[in-house]
Homo-oligomer: A and B are copies of this chain.
């Protein structure tokens, strides 16, 4: 089967690596190899093997009937939205790590996929390598999900962890930037926007209708002070940036903000850039999922898991129904 990768940045190059180095595992699951037939990027990559399959034209990919799966790793809303829409409309299955895309256009793109009897998957858009969405959707399908809460952003968790060790907010942020954990413009992370988008996706999946990320009250960590961290410590607590959605009947209550959490609470024990998700179901009780919420290979791993499940569906001529719709 043949795949195309859109965007050869951090995640896209990770996808290339997973598809290349883990071919044995992929063949064991699918019964056949997956070939990377195209990589779409405007840049050039010298004598890297990716150069042999490089294209600048999305139409090369969507018009090639041999392409089964399109893997969107460009980030941003445009042209990611247009490219994914084109690919789905051409009957390709699509996997993406793009949380902004899913938070903004998830319902519409799932509808487009279902209309063309194919899959649109986005496990990697929420907490990188942690299998949150498939767990909620399949392993917990029988559960009344009462709440999902977690540490959804590694950058802020790293900064808060370093502030606990005595650094100021500015010094911790600067260190995170040096280590590559924070971007030069850190706003999306430190102001909670990244966590908010992930929470919107989870809340939409649980409730069955779009929860707009603009409607989720969101506070980041840029105003957390050393004094607040010390006060929490004096009470045996740690400050964490918590994203939480609770469901009560048809009420969906979601918010993002810093909270003081008891030191022995699982969410207080999340270290450095790790993410954790705590799901509370009415029968199963608490389930904690923890792992790398970002990073090239961990995120790529989740993207490729989506590709494998989607390609396996494609071989059997089945597809998954939409997870949520824009109707309330």
Interface pick from A22-30, A58-66, A71-79, A218-226: A22-30
Interface residue? A301 (CB, 8 A): yes
Interface 0/1 of A140-159, CB less than 8 Å to B:
11111000000000000000
A251 to chain B, nearest CB (A): 16
* B144 A140 Cβ-Cβ under 8 A: no
A143 to B145, CA, bound (A): 29
A327 within 8 A of B: no
Copies of the protein in its oligomer: 2
27 contacts between A and B (CB under 8 A): A22-B283, A26-B141, A28-B141, A28-B208, A129-B283, A129-B284, A130-B287, A131-B139, A131-B140, A134-B134, A134-B138, A134-B139, A138-B308, A138-B309, A140-B301, A141-B305, A141-B308, A142-B301, A264-B269, A266-B290, A269-B269, A285-B298, A286-B290, A286-B291, A286-B292, A288-B288, A288-B289
Size of interface on A: residues with Cβ below 8 Å to B: 52
User: How many angstroms from the CA of A318 to the CA of B283 in the assembled complex?
Assistant: 28
Residue contact B144 to A22, C-beta cutoff 8 Å: yes
CA distance A129 to B24 in the complex (A): 30
Q: Name the CB-closest residue of B to A130.
A: B287
B129 touches A287 (CB 8 A): yes
A5 to nearest B CB, angstroms? 14
Contact at A304–B138, with CB atoms within 8 Å? no
Chain B residues with Cβ below 8 Å from A135 are 131, 134-135, 139
Q: Mark A244-267, 1 if CB is under 8 A from B, else 0.
A: 000000000000000000001010
Interface string of A298-311 (1 = CB under 8 A from B): 10111011011100
Are B288 and A25 closer than 8 Å at their CB atoms? Answer: no
The complex places the Cα of A292 from the Cα of B297 at a distance, in Å, of 30
Residues of B within 8 A of A142 (CB): 18, 22, 25-26, 29, 301, 304-305, 307-308
The reply on A282 being an interface residue by CB < 8 A is yes
Contact A138 B305, CB 8 Å, known A289-B288, A290-B266, A316-B318: yes
CA distance A283 to B18 in the complex (A): 7
Q: Which B residues are in CB contact (< 8 Å) with A119?
A: none
Closest 7 CB pairs of A and B: A131-B139, A29-B141, A284-B301, A288-B290, A129-B284, A287-B291, A142-B304
